[in-house]
Structure 1
Amino acid sequence: MKKISGLLTVSLLLLGALVFAQKQQKIGDNTTNIAPNAVLELESSTSGFLPPRMNHEQRNAVSASPGLMIYCTDCGDGQFQVFTNVNSWSGINSVVDVSSVPCGAYVTAGVYKKFMCYNLGATNTLLDPNIPVQAIHGNYYQWGRSAPVANASTSSAAITGWNSVNAANGSWADGSKTAYDPCPVGFRVPTKVQWDGVLANNTVSRTGSWTNDGNFSTAISWGPNASTKTLTLPAAGYRIGTDGTLLNRGGSGFYWSSTESSTYAGSLAFGGGSASTTNTNRTHGLSVRCVSE
């Protein structure tokens, strides 16, 4: 007897339910007495339901619709996940319900803006965004370019073939989202003014050792008070613009803005005792935290 995959079986049954709108389906040891409010019921005292299993890279390649469910084998310790109506995967058995985390900050007095909960390129977006670990450090980007130049797993050594030429003026822009902006739909690289607003209108707190030893457990946070964190940025260091060598991870963080400044570009820079906006060489590789458009 040939086996049919669980996904195909369910798909065929649901198709049958659509064709025969009033017909209900029951599969299992006892196929009588289906629940009156169920279009499909599985019944067994000896077996379980096994959904499609895949790693997070395979999951991300799926053209998903809200409600689609899979088992992600390398998300945390492995977990059931469902694709939500906000176009993201959420863990059914996740320790943290990230959909309820109010990620964002005040960018001016009384004006709250939503930020993505994780650095762009984070490999596990089901973890607590306020507890810094390697999986939420994300990628490094050169200003004005959409492709990452390194990630949190890349060696700290110089990178062969590093591009030391500045991106052209207008590659990113304050007034509108350009084609080179790496952020997903609905988000963009923040402006320098928005980063200044975060600094001026939120309460700062810090986590970790603030030592330049390459650790992943150091971060700065903002929120309405010191005990409430709504925007946490890992101290991911930066990739130097001459050859891509990683510097200062664990001791400082550098995040791009979309704002041009002569041949430089604006960025947010912070360490264990300071945080400010500055102008940075465009060929450096910095972190990106996207803000809602």
Structure 2
Amino acid sequence: MKNTNKNRFRSGIQLYALLPLILFIFSNCAKDTNTAISKGTAPIKVNIVGTEFNTAAGIGLKASNSKNTAAISSNRTSQIPFNKDFDLVTEVSAVDPATELILKANAATTNGAKAVAETKDLSPNVKYKLAVYDQSGNYVTERDYVSGQESNAQALNLDGGNTYTFVAYSINSASAIPAITFADPNNKTLVGSHLAINGSDDFMYFKMNMQVSGNTDNYVGIVLKHQLCQVTTIVDASQTGYNITAVSAMYAPHNSSATINLSDGSASGTGTAGSVNVAFPTAIDALMVTGTPTIINANSTAGTLTVGAITVGPLSATNLVPFTDLVFEPGVKYDVKFSLIPKDIYLVHAGYSAGRINGQIWLRHNLGASGDPDVLASSIAGNYYQFGRKNHVATGTGTATNSNWNTSMAAASAWNSGSEAAPVKTTNDPCPTGYRVPTEAELRTLISNTVSSQSGPWSTSRYASALILTSKRNKSVKLTIPAQGYWNYKGLTNPPFDPDVLLNSGNMAIIWSSNGSGGVTYLRSRTSNPTAHIVETTDNRNKEWGFNVRCIAE
């Protein structure tokens, strides 16, 4: 019995002594197994996810200030004279890139179920190249692909277990793909890899590092990012009523060619430095014209935007320069819109004193008033009208309503048989020939293009207070809207709604809109809320109120 225990003890000691050897053998077997899995042929499958522009946030469009530094702004506006009646307003805005793609690059590289090459923004048949470099940055190989026809390309197989740098690029063309040139053809490296492109080429770039696995497909999800600035130019003459028949515009500086550093996709302008013309349609006869997107090959703090020549109906001008200090950021997409805007001025329109603000022409008086429109007096107090009615129910200086008061509500379309976007004046409209009651949208436009202020005490003094709407473009042009209050109605639920008393005279300015859908809408300013604003109600009974009317030109 004792011998048996001794034998067992000796065996345990021997097994314990052999344990490190056993673990070492298993460990090496496992390493051999893992190495076998990761090595071997690693097929590379290409998946075009889409194309992207850089975001404007933190990049934006910049303007040089007096200290020669760059102040970030994603939007710029310029207003310069076109002629004595019109201004050329130029708006430059950075376009945000798409917030979401159908496939994300990360998902495409890890999810074999998404192996089929897809295109989002990259058009079919566009050529692109994929170049491969090893972990030391040495050139390995390259393949040319055609968007939508990736399966026709020569197979790309690499060594499993190794890490590679994948660089893809395109000029967004179905006919050409630039060749890679090496600083040292005998020592081809990523750092020494370059491309030569034309200044108008839409160069796009992608780069990623990835360890590939042998004996299984490896997916490279490519998102090509635009590396040069792209600008879409729009010319809008709709506010003139005339068609554009000729236009030319250009951006400067612009280089005729560029050298691309393939290690990071950066472009260095080469060749002749000059300007690039916007390609507009050859046959133009429209209120609005859009040019083909323009590639700008430059990185300058003094970018110039010039309208070489433009003809709009009988109007023409040459050599208009809205900006001389633009910074065109590489990889950012911009919209540039030229608009011919009538100058904000006083004028006589259809026989009446009027003011033009942002192209809209407004009577300078509330309907029924006269006298100097900017002198606060009883003479500029206009008549009161119920919604949808042609005849006034009280004068601006009266102390009671008249027999024109209607005890039931008018129809929603009583003043506008069209729509908000395309209003149609009706026979119930009280405005004179050539004018009509404004829509809600037109009142909102008036508010957005003016600065609100109040004049007078804004108390119970009937003729001493007014809302002043001053043009943002020309502070000498303003509309004075007396704080006349409104006539209330009696009745709680159902007609008849008889006239009641005059309320808020001296401390509330109100003018009707023609929008009567589901209630009423009007512009208002009052003591507790002085800035001009739009009020929308859903109570049809409010059509019985007696408000002032300020007419807009048709």
Report 1:153-232 matches (<5 A): 153-155=397-399, 162-173=405-416, 174=420, 175-211=423-459, 213-225=460-472, 228-232=476-480
Matched, 1:292 2:553: yes
The amino acid across from 2:392 in the alignment is P
The amino acid across from 2:521 in the alignment is G
Report 1:5-20 matches (<5 A): none
Matched, 1:279 2:515: no
CA distance in 1, matches of 2:404, 2:365: 28
1:258 CA displacement: 0.4
CA distance in 1, matches of 2:409, 2:471: 38
Runs of 4+ in 1 over 4 A off after TM superposition: 157-162
Answer yes or no: is the 8 Å Cα contact 1:252–1:269 preserved in 2.
yes
The amino acid across from 2:506 in the alignment is G
Cα deviations across residues 53-81 of structure 1 (Å, max 9, x unaligned)?
A: xxxxxxxxxxxxxxxxxxxxxxxxxxxxx
CA distance in 2, matches of 1:85, 1:186: 8
Matched, 1:129 2:373: yes
CA distance in 1, matches of 2:410, 2:544: 8
- 1:103 match: 355
2:452 counterpart SS class: strand
CA distance in 1, matches of 2:515, 2:395: 23
CA distance in 2, matches of 1:248, 1:220: 14
CA RMSD of aligned residues (A): 2.4
CA distance in 1, matches of 2:513, 2:350: 25
Cα deviations across residues 123-150 of structure 1 (Å, max 9, x unaligned)?
A: x3xx321122111111000000000000
1:274 CA displacement: 3.1
TM-score scaled to structure 2, two decimals? 0.32
Answer yes or no: is the 8 Å Cα contact 2:381–2:396 preserved in 1.
yes
Structure 1 residues 214 and 245, CA gap change in structure 2 (3 angstroms)? farther
CA distance in 2, matches of 1:162, 1:180: 14
Answer yes or no: is the 8 Å Cα contact 2:467–2:480 preserved in 1.
yes
- 1:265 match: 520
CA distance in 1, matches of 2:479, 2:349: 23
Larger proportion of strand: 2
Structure 1 residues 86 and 267, CA gap change in structure 2 (3 angstroms)? closer
Answer yes or no: is the 8 Å Cα contact 2:431–2:437 preserved in 1.
yes
1:160 CA displacement: 7.4
Answer yes or no: is the 8 Å Cα contact 2:381–2:397 preserved in 1.
no
CA distance in 2, matches of 1:161, 1:148: 7
CA distance in 2, matches of 1:244, 1:151: 15
Identity of aligned residues (%): 33
CA distance in 2, matches of 1:270, 1:279: 14
1:209 counterpart SS class: coil
1:235 to 483, 495, 520: 483
TM-score scaled to structure 1, two decimals? 0.58
Answer yes or no: is the 8 Å Cα contact 2:488–2:500 preserved in 1.
yes
Structure 1 residues 177 and 134, CA gap change in structure 2 (3 angstroms)? same
1:183 CA displacement: 0.2
1:288 counterpart SS class: coil
Matched, 1:138 2:385: no
Aligned length: 187
The amino acid across from 1:224 in the alignment is S
The amino acid across from 1:105 in the alignment is I
Higher relative contact order (CA 8 A, sep 6+): 1
Q: Which shows bigger deviation, 280-289 or 199-208?
A: 199-208
Answer yes or no: is the 8 Å Cα contact 1:237–1:286 preserved in 2.
yes
Structure 1 residues 205 and 85, CA gap change in structure 2 (3 angstroms)? closer
Answer yes or no: is the 8 Å Cα contact 1:214–1:248 preserved in 2.
no
1:244 CA displacement: 3.6
CA distance in 2, matches of 1:161, 1:224: 36
Q: Give structure 2 stretches of 5+ with no counterpart.
A: 1-347, 491-498
1:245 counterpart SS class: strand
Answer yes or no: is the 8 Å Cα contact 1:222–1:231 preserved in 2.
yes
Answer yes or no: is the 8 Å Cα contact 1:241–1:282 preserved in 2.
no
2:366 to 119, 124, 131: 119
Structure 1 residues 168 and 218, CA gap change in structure 2 (3 angstroms)? same
CA distance in 2, matches of 1:120, 1:135: 12
CA distance in 1, matches of 2:551, 2:404: 27
The amino acid across from 1:207 in the alignment is S
- 1:109 match: none
CA distance in 1, matches of 2:545, 2:349: 36
1:197 counterpart SS class: helix
- 2:193 match: none
Answer yes or no: is the 8 Å Cα contact 1:177–1:188 preserved in 2.
yes
CA distance in 2, matches of 1:261, 1:250: 29
Answer yes or no: is the 8 Å Cα contact 2:392–2:404 preserved in 1.
no
Structure 1 residues 250 and 229, CA gap change in structure 2 (3 angstroms)? farther
1:267 CA displacement: 0.7
The amino acid across from 2:360 in the alignment is K
Cα deviations across residues 15-43 of structure 1 (Å, max 9, x unaligned)?
A: xxxxxxxxxxxxxxxxxxxxxxxxxxxxx
Structure 1 residues 146 and 291, CA gap change in structure 2 (3 angstroms)? same
1:148 to 384, 389, 392: 392
1:166 counterpart SS class: coil
CA distance in 2, matches of 1:86, 1:162: 29
Structure 1 residues 229 and 215, CA gap change in structure 2 (3 angstroms)? farther
